[in-house]
Amino acid sequence: MKPAIDTNRHADDHGSSSSQPSPAGHGWARLRKELKRERRRERRREREKVRFIDGWEQYKTLWDGIEFKRQLINMGDKKVRFALAIMAALNAVMLIVLTRGPIAQMAASSLGPWLGILLLVYGAITFAFMTHTIEALRPTVAESRAHDAAEWNARELGAASGDERPVGLFIRGSLEHLSFEEERRMWSNARLSDINGELILFNRSSSFVLKRQMEEIRKVYQRLKVLVILATVVLMLVVGSGVVRSSTGTFGALISLR
């Protein structure tokens, strides 16, 4: 007669027959998975460094670049207008001082030639300031397209450029070149590379406008600093002359009283 088998024995009684992994095994498995994921991410980053961007990425990058430069150009316009506001306030102060101060007495004194030289220099720098301000705010459509004139003309005027499109998609001259049906057919056959090509032209022209504007703004603020210095010197001469004249009058009155 066979002995009865004890079915209440636990799996732990069999030693190595336990199928449950230990906590240390769980930790090593998670670590291996993390290392594999990190290696995959590293390989993906390496591929991203050397791959070429596709058409949609070109479109988005070009559009973002044009929008960023447009914001910088608008910011530059605001800086120029702020410089004009400072200049207006400075000229208003100078006008009040020159019309209500003791200018006639100063002109007759030894300070007259120096004051005249300062005012002449102030006027010349003011003229240069206004010239650079106008240049910073002046539209430069023709100048910005000068380096790529053939490409702009091919799209605006429909000149022969070696491709199938008679005129551009966004860059357009007179509407007489195309009818509505022709334009609809052209957009139906449009390619993303055509749009990106025109965005490149917009990007190049906006780069030229931004570069020229930044140079003019730098000159505007340089002239403005010189004007502030000259105005300060003129104000010091006028105020100092008034104080000296007042002190001299007071001293003469005291002597006459004695």
Report pLDDT digits (tens) over 181-224: 878 888 888 888 888 988 999 999 999 999 999 999 999 999 99
CA distances from 258 to 40, 151, 251, 254, 255 (A): 102, 90, 11, 6, 5
Q: Comparing 28 with 251, which gets the higher pLDDT?
A: 28
Euclidean distance between CA atoms 114 and 237, whole angstroms: 9
* Spans of all domains in the chain: 55-241
- Could you tell me what percent of the chain has a pLDDT over 90? 28
What confidence category does residue 24 fall into, taking pLDDT thresholds of 50, 70 and 90? low
The pLDDT of residue 153: 80
Structure tokens belonging to residue 130: 């206004």
Asked whether residue 233 carries a pLDDT value surpassing 80, the answer given is yes
The pLDDT of residue 215: 93
DSSP character for 111?
T
The pLDDT of residue 163: 52
| Cα angle, residue 179 at apex, residues 173 and 180 outer, rounded to 5° | 110
pLDDT tens digit sequence for 108-126: 666 677 778 888 898 899 9
